[in-house]
Chains A and B, each alone.
Chain A
Amino acid sequence: MPTREQADVVIIGGGVVGTAIARELAKYNLAVILLEEQPDLAMGTTKANSAILHAGFDATVGSLKATLNVRGNELYRQMKDELDLEIDMVGSLVVALDDEEMKTLSELQKRGRENGVPGLEIFGRDQVLAMEPNLAPDIAGALYAPTGGVMLPFGVALAFAENASRNGVQVRTECPVTGFVIENGAVVGVKTPEGVIAAKYVVNAAGTRADAVSRLAGDDSFAIQPRKGEYILFDKSVGNLVKAAIFPTPTKLSKGILVAPTIHGNIFIGPNAFNLTDKDDVATTAPGMAEIIAGARRLLPGLPLASGITQFAGLRAVADSGDFVIRPSSITPGLVHAAGIQSPGLSAAPAIGEKIVAILGELGLPLLKKTNFIPGNPRHAVFSKMDMEARHELVAQNPLYGKIICRCETITEAEIVDAIQRPCGARTVDGVKRRTRAGMGRCQGGFCGPRVTAILARELKIPLTAVRKDAPESYLFYDKIPGNCEVKNNV
């Protein structure tokens, strides 16, 4: 029997944008429901991008991309301690290979200063090589941005979601929006397989599918073009080949193929940029990987290909307008878009949250600040980062901290259980991976995968054969096929 619920705001999409909006709305006395169609949050673009906290010099002056990037960068640095976010300000270097490109760097610097980016400097070849000795010796120079950094995109989204949830936001996974309820041309609710949720305001943060969601509400004012980017991730043993995020000089199509550290001490290369029609196509390709290897080698000639540990691809949600689509719908009142969030979307996310809340306020949503808002999340113990004494104490409190499940990354069973049982906890093997790092090491889950699967089955009280890797039907194991004959003389 379909249910009928009531909310003040429904957010469609549980990526870094949707969760940032949820966290911002959580500060106010509002009933907020976030709906995510996949079994876990952050399964779209949020889990497959360059993970860069951009300084903000790249976007056109005055664009939403520019203003929200700079504001987002600032907000992240403020929120880092509050939400225990994994962010490292390692700096970025945009490398020029010739004089032409050096001119572009000057333009970027000028643009960056207009955008309000602090500390931008142009370094000559020798200075760059002193900072990054493994770069190609024939570079011309680089633009250095000290406020650039690296972060954990899905970690940030999960921290936003967990905090929103602790402050009363309902976060629902595996709950797609199948339609809108429209009365007198305005949104009054959304339809889901579990029933209707009545709401005066609906935020469209549906990533690559934001145009489809918008059309469901009768608004076809923008189109989203998925643009694929492929990546290769390298072992931590080669993690110190670069310290800052290294960019090539950008082109119109994209920021180019980077060589950058990850927040956890790996390095990665990518992305390329390839327009698609299929919004589900996140396959890596041989030509794509060849392209990013060639691009990366131009910056880092000694790229240690043999140390690659995994490859993946993500889709940028590119709006045809060329900028973020952050505005109320001009066709269907009640619908507010946070769409077309390609780069620097991750960097802008907290600022997008702010802006959406401001827009909702202008549309009439009452914004009464909560007096009991809890700004932080409980610190999750990370065994691998603790010293031996602290570890010993943890095991004394909970023996499951003494059981190492992921040997490559030294992740304990207790951390995995916590990742499952916490608000917005993991329901899948990759969900555990994104929250704990179990499975991200050099054996890529060969050792821990079956063990994590068994722990999920136990904690979620489901059969092991019901545990999924990531996607809705991604069951990992089957029951053995029943035998088919009688046994004679069974002892």
Chain B
Amino acid sequence: MYEHKAEVVIIGGGPAGLAAAVSACDNGADGVLVLERDREAGGILQQCIHNGFGLHHFKQELTGPGYAGRYLQQVKERPNINVMLNTMVLSVAEDKTIMAVNPQYGVMRIAAKAVIFTMGCRERTRGAIRIPGTRPAGVFTAGAAQRMVNMEGYLPGKKLVILGSGDIGLIMARRMMLEGAEVQAALEIMPYCNGLTRNVVQCLEDYGIPLYLSHTIVAIHGKDRVSGVTCARVDEKMQPIAGTEFDLECDCLLLSVGLIPENELSRELGLTMDPLTAGPVVDQLRQTSLPGFFAAGNVVHVHDLVDFVSEEGEIAGKYAARYAAGVLPTDGPVALVKATDGIRTAVPQVIRLNADDTATLRLYMRASKPERQVTLVISSGDQTLLERKLPVAKPGEMIVAEIPADKRGAIKDSITVVLKH
């Protein structure tokens, strides 16, 4: 078996993993190894050929591949970072031994001092939401279709219906129009749109594609290939309303119905998981419940802006390097972050009170439902740590707020995050 070792081993070479690698290296890690399953690094960015990436991070509007290219260049400039492509991790043990395999080296046993999980997400499937009907060719998740269209050069269909108004579905609606296909409609089960407003404008409105809110698909038709779908309006419980059905002819259904953090390795290790984010519980250093194991990016919670993914990766990389050097405290008093009253999830879920004072206490949160004219209040005990007026709060747009340095001393054993009217 091939034996290898590196101080910091990063599983997943997408934007989170690349940012973590650069940061770990710049924070003194003596050897960083990135394990990537695809033929090139960059992760999902390589198929996201549209622009809108990097407005915060690079103060520029880049395409996905352009953003990935920036990090790939930074990795290239650091000979301390080794990226292994076509490599799949098979298992990770508590003692930080990683078993992986690739065609070149066969099965590898890799010894690490610190491990960073940056595996990203997978897409929710038709089977998970139980759409009735036949099982013809032509039902794809939007991301899988995007890869085929943008990287392999094939179309998933010529007349499409999109289920789900998340960004990936909206982006694919426009992409398919540009490829000469017809997009009949986009349907969204919630009464509000999930994706960014800018995408509704430039992907649906620009092309006259109708968006049916509070609608879902109740049947898929077609024997060999999709021939159409039956749609229906839903009630407040998101159940189809009898009598509202209508049919849309199509040869392809793209599903954009949610992303699920890819946490098989995390669960196998027994990391404490957050049932709402479906990712591991992390502290502000992005360390998980198992010392020396860090996590960042979509594997922790689904992001909408890659800029914040890079931020998380940077944090995880820095503290993984510190851990590997033996200078990271891993126990001590903590404050648990409670998201309630209008806030569904908040990351990090734990604030370590004796950690490095330069570590940002930035919270990344999501609203439970769309709100207008609300105030974000972050408090600990009866002390308000931060208040910010938000004219609009949407579940599809992450709220980011930093607890000011001068308020750190006021943090007790829990922090509450709410939206007040």
Asked if A309 is at the interface (CB within 8 A of a chain B CB), the reply is yes
Contact yes or no, B88 A407, CB < 8 A? yes
Which residues from chain A contact B224 at a C-beta distance below 8 Å? 468-469, 471-474
Asked if B219 is at the interface (CB within 8 A of a chain A CB), the reply is yes
Asked if B269 is at the interface (CB within 8 A of a chain A CB), the reply is no
- The answer for the CA separation of A384 and B57 in the assembled complex, in Å, is 41
Asked if A280 is at the interface (CB within 8 A of a chain B CB), the reply is yes
Which residues from chain B contact A476 at a C-beta distance below 8 Å? 137-138, 156
Q: A450-B148, A478-B158, A481-B180 are in contact. Are A396 and B132 (CB under 8 A)?
A: no
Chain A CB within 10 Å, residue with most, of B2, B127, B181:
B127
Asked if A285 is at the interface (CB within 8 A of a chain B CB), the reply is yes
- The answer for the CA separation of A213 and B143 in the assembled complex, in Å, is 44
Q: A286-B218, A446-B141, A471-B223 are in contact. Are A310 and B127 (CB under 8 A)?
A: yes
Which residues from chain B contact A310 at a C-beta distance below 8 Å? 125-127
Which residues from chain A contact B141 at a C-beta distance below 8 Å? 446
Name the segment of A154-162, A351-359, A397-405 touching the other chain: A397-405
Contact yes or no, A284 B223, CB < 8 A? no
Asked if B246 is at the interface (CB within 8 A of a chain A CB), the reply is no
- The answer for the CA separation of A454 and B219 in the assembled complex, in Å, is 29
Q: Which of B101, B180, B219 makes the CB contact (< 8 A) with A395?
A: B101
Contact yes or no, A403 B137, CB < 8 A? no
The digit string for A442-486, where 1 denotes a CB below 8 A from any CB of B, is 111011011000100000000011001111111111111100000
Contacting residues of chain B (1-42) with chain A, CB-CB under 8 angstroms: 1-2, 37
CB distance from A175 to the nearest CB of B (A): 18
Chain A CB within 10 Å, residue with most, of B104, B130, B153:
B130
CB distance from B404 to the nearest CB of A (A): 39
- The answer for the CA separation of A391 and B101 in the assembled complex, in Å, is 9
Asked if A389 is at the interface (CB within 8 A of a chain B CB), the reply is yes
CB distance from A387 to the nearest CB of B (A): 10
Contacting residues of chain B (31-68) with chain A, CB-CB under 8 angstroms: 37
- The answer for the CA separation of A403 and B37 in the assembled complex, in Å, is 9
Contact yes or no, A389 B1, CB < 8 A? yes
Asked if A388 is at the interface (CB within 8 A of a chain B CB), the reply is yes
Contact yes or no, A392 B179, CB < 8 A? no
- The answer for the CA separation of A443 and B148 in the assembled complex, in Å, is 17
- The answer for the CA separation of A280 and B144 in the assembled complex, in Å, is 29
- The answer for the CA separation of A442 and B123 in the assembled complex, in Å, is 10
CB distance from B217 to the nearest CB of A (A): 11
Main secondary structure of the interface of B (DSSP, over half): mixed
Which residues from chain A contact B179 at a C-beta distance below 8 Å? 480-481
Asked if A416 is at the interface (CB within 8 A of a chain B CB), the reply is no
Asked if A52 is at the interface (CB within 8 A of a chain B CB), the reply is no
Asked if B107 is at the interface (CB within 8 A of a chain A CB), the reply is yes
The digit string for B115-155, where 1 denotes a CB below 8 A from any CB of A, is 00000001101111010111111100101100110001111
Contact yes or no, B137 A470, CB < 8 A? yes
Which residues from chain A contact B125 at a C-beta distance below 8 Å? 309-310, 442-444, 446
Contact yes or no, A311 B144, CB < 8 A? no
Number of CB contacts from chain A to chain B under 8 A:
145
Asked if B90 is at the interface (CB within 8 A of a chain A CB), the reply is yes
- The answer for the CA separation of A395 and B102 in the assembled complex, in Å, is 8
Which residues from chain B contact A410 at a C-beta distance below 8 Å? 88, 90
- The answer for the CA separation of A471 and B99 in the assembled complex, in Å, is 39
Which residues from chain B contact A311 at a C-beta distance below 8 Å? 127, 130, 132
Which residues from chain A contact B147 at a C-beta distance below 8 Å? 450
Contact yes or no, B148 A471, CB < 8 A? no
Asked if B396 is at the interface (CB within 8 A of a chain A CB), the reply is no
Q: Which of B88, B122, B137, B156 makes the CB contact (< 8 A) with A446?
A: B122
Contact yes or no, A465 B154, CB < 8 A? yes
Contact yes or no, B132 A450, CB < 8 A? no
CB distance from A212 to the nearest CB of B (A): 18
The digit string for B224-263, where 1 denotes a CB below 8 A from any CB of A, is 1100000000000000100000000000000000000000
CB distance from A44 to the nearest CB of B (A): 14
Asked if A299 is at the interface (CB within 8 A of a chain B CB), the reply is no
Asked if B191 is at the interface (CB within 8 A of a chain A CB), the reply is no
Which residues from chain A contact B137 at a C-beta distance below 8 Å? 468-471, 474-476
Asked if A124 is at the interface (CB within 8 A of a chain B CB), the reply is no
Contact yes or no, A289 B130, CB < 8 A? yes
Asked if A283 is at the interface (CB within 8 A of a chain B CB), the reply is yes
Contact yes or no, B154 A474, CB < 8 A? no
- The answer for the CA separation of A462 and B155 in the assembled complex, in Å, is 17
Which residues from chain A contact B375 at a C-beta distance below 8 Å? none
Asked if A61 is at the interface (CB within 8 A of a chain B CB), the reply is no
From B141, which residue of chain A is reached at the shortest CB distance? A446
Asked if B409 is at the interface (CB within 8 A of a chain A CB), the reply is no
From A393, which residue of chain B is reached at the shortest CB distance? B106
Q: A399-B103, A444-B125, A449-B144 are in contact. Are A283 and B1 (CB under 8 A)?
A: no
CB distance from A141 to the nearest CB of B (A): 33
CB distance from A402 to the nearest CB of B (A): 4
The digit string for B66-98, where 1 denotes a CB below 8 A from any CB of A, is 000000000000000000001010100000000
- The answer for the CA separation of A382 and B331 in the assembled complex, in Å, is 43
Asked if A282 is at the interface (CB within 8 A of a chain B CB), the reply is yes
- The answer for the CA separation of A311 and B128 in the assembled complex, in Å, is 9
From A447, which residue of chain B is reached at the shortest CB distance? B122
- The answer for the CA separation of A283 and B219 in the assembled complex, in Å, is 9
- The answer for the CA separation of A319 and B335 in the assembled complex, in Å, is 68
Contact yes or no, A400 B132, CB < 8 A? no
From A230, which residue of chain B is reached at the shortest CB distance? B132
CB distance from B318 to the nearest CB of A (A): 29
Q: A283-B133, A471-B136 are in contact. Are A391 and B155 (CB under 8 A)?
A: no
Asked if B157 is at the interface (CB within 8 A of a chain A CB), the reply is yes
Contact yes or no, A474 B130, CB < 8 A? no
CB distance from A195 to the nearest CB of B (A): 25
Asked if A308 is at the interface (CB within 8 A of a chain B CB), the reply is yes
CB distance from B157 to the nearest CB of A (A): 7
- The answer for the CA separation of A442 and B1 in the assembled complex, in Å, is 30
CB distance from A487 to the nearest CB of B (A): 16
Contact yes or no, B225 A232, CB < 8 A? no
Which residues from chain B contact A308 at a C-beta distance below 8 Å? 127-128, 130
CB distance from B134 to the nearest CB of A (A): 5
Contact yes or no, A481 B158, CB < 8 A? yes
CB distance from B397 to the nearest CB of A (A): 25
Contacting residues of chain B (175-222) with chain A, CB-CB under 8 angstroms: 179-181, 218-219, 221
CB distance from A28 to the nearest CB of B (A): 38
Q: A282-B134, A308-B127 are in contact. Are A475 and B154 (CB under 8 A)?
A: no
Which residues from chain A contact B126 at a C-beta distance below 8 Å? 310, 444
From B109, which residue of chain A is reached at the shortest CB distance? A388
Asked if A222 is at the interface (CB within 8 A of a chain B CB), the reply is no
Q: Which of B37, B132, B148 makes the CB contact (< 8 A) with A477?
A: B148
CB distance from A294 to the nearest CB of B (A): 14
- The answer for the CA separation of A479 and B148 in the assembled complex, in Å, is 11
- The answer for the CA separation of A389 and B1 in the assembled complex, in Å, is 7
Contact yes or no, A232 B130, CB < 8 A? yes
Asked if A312 is at the interface (CB within 8 A of a chain B CB), the reply is yes
The digit string for A70-102, where 1 denotes a CB below 8 A from any CB of B, is 000000000000000000000000000000000
12 A/B residue pairs, CB under 8 Å, sorted by A: A280-B223, A284-B133, A311-B130, A388-B99, A403-B102, A404-B37, A446-B125, A447-B122, A450-B148, A468-B224, A478-B157, A480-B179
6 further A-B contacts with Cβ under 8 Å, apart from A237-B267, A283-B219, A444-B126, are A232-B130, A233-B127, A284-B133, A395-B101, A464-B154, A481-B179
